[in-house]
Amino acid sequence: MNLNLVSKIGPKTEKILNKINIFTVEDLLTYYPYRYNVIKFINIDEAKENETCYVLATVLSDVKVAYIKRNFNRLSFIASNNNKTFNITIFNRAFLKKNLTVNREVVLIGKYNPLKNSFVASDIKFNVEDERIEPIYHLTEGLKNSNVEAIMTEALKIKYDLPDYVPDMYNEKYNLISKNDAIKLIHEPKTINDIKKSELKLIYEELFVYMFKINYLKQINKKAEGIQKSFDMHLVEDFLNNLSFRLTTDQETAIKDILNDMQSKSRMNRLVLGDVGSGKTVVAIVAIFANYLSGYQSAFMAPTEILAKQHYESLQNYFAPYDIKIGLLTGSLTKKAKEKLYEQINNGEIDVVIGTHALLNEGAAFHNIGLVITDEQHRFGVNQRNLLQNKGIKKDADVIYLSATPIPRTYALTIYGDLDLSQIKTKPNTRKDIITKVVLEKNIREVLVAMLEELKKGHQIFVVSPLIEQNDELDLNSVNLLKEKLNTAFNERVPIEILHGKLKQKEKDGLMLRFQNGEIKILISTTVIEVGIDIPNASMMVIFNAERFGLATLHQLRGRVGRSDIQSYCYLVTNVSDNARLKVMEESNDGFYISEKDFEQRGQGDLFGVKQSGDMTFKIANLKRDYKILLQAKIDSEIYLAKSLFKGNSLYENLTEKINFLD
Ligand code: ADP
Ligand code: MG
Q: What is the pLDDT of residue 359?
A: 65
Q: What is the pLDDT of residue 366?
A: 86
Q: What is the pLDDT of residue 529?
A: 57
The reported pTM is: 0.74
Nearest atom (ligand 1) to Cα of 281: 6
Nearest protein Cα to ligand 1, atom 13 = 279
Is 131 buried (19+), middle (13-18) or exposed (0-12) by CB count in 10 A? exposed
Domains and CATH numbers, the chain: 41-130 (2.40.50.140), 168-222+626-662 (no CATH), 224-424 (3.40.50.300), 435-588 (3.40.50.300)
The number of the ligand nearest the C-alpha atom of 276 reads 1
> CA 100, CA 199: separation in Å to the nearest integer?
38
Contact between 633 and 205 (Cβ < 8 Å): no
CA of 164 to the centre of ligand 1 (A): 46
Helix (H) or strand (E) holding 91: strand 84-91
Give the residue, out of 252, 281, 589, with the most ligand 1 atoms within 8 A of its beta carbon, to mutate for a pocket test: 281
Nearest atom (ligand 1) to Cα of 559: 3
Q: What is the pLDDT of residue 596?
A: 76
CA of 390 to the centre of ligand 1 (A): 32
Cβ-count burial 613-643 (b if 16+ within 10 Å, e if not): bbbbbbebbbbbebbebbebbbebbbebbee
> CA 233, CA 237: separation in Å to the nearest integer?
6
The number of the ligand nearest the C-alpha atom of 275 reads 1
Q: What is the pLDDT of residue 593?
A: 84
The number of the ligand nearest the C-alpha atom of 304 reads 2
Determine the straight-line distance between the first and last CA of the chain, rounded to whole angstroms: 29
CA of 320 to the centre of ligand 1 (A): 18
Contact between 350 and 369 (Cβ < 8 Å): no
Q: Which residues of the chain have pLDDT under 50?
A: 389-392, 469-474, 603-615, 661-663
pLDDT digits (tens, 9 = 90+) for 118-145: 999 998 988 777 778 999 998 887 888 9
Please name the residues in contact with 323: beta carbons below 8 A apart, sequence gap of 6 or more.
none
Long-range contacts of residues 606-612, Cβ cutoff 8 Å, at least 24 apart = 606/549, 606/550, 606/551, 606/552, 606/553, 607/405, 607/407, 607/552, 608/378, 608/405, 608/552, 609/378, 609/379, 609/405, 609/530, 609/550, 609/552, 609/553, 609/556, 610/379, 610/527, 610/530, 610/553
Q: What is the pLDDT of residue 467?
A: 63
Residue 297: name the closest of 235, 252, 355, 339 by CA: 355
> CA 336, CA 356: separation in Å to the nearest integer?
18
Q: Which residues does a 6 A CB cutoff place in the pocket of ligand 1?
A: 245-248, 251, 274, 276-282, 404, 428, 430, 534, 563
CA of 281 to the centre of ligand 1 (A): 7
> CA 566, CA 550: separation in Å to the nearest integer?
27
Residue 465: name the closest of 492, 446, 484 by CA: 484
| Angle at alpha carbon of residue 96, lines to 46 and 140, rounded to 5° | 90
> CA 553, CA 611: separation in Å to the nearest integer?
10
> CA 73, CA 38: separation in Å to the nearest integer?
29
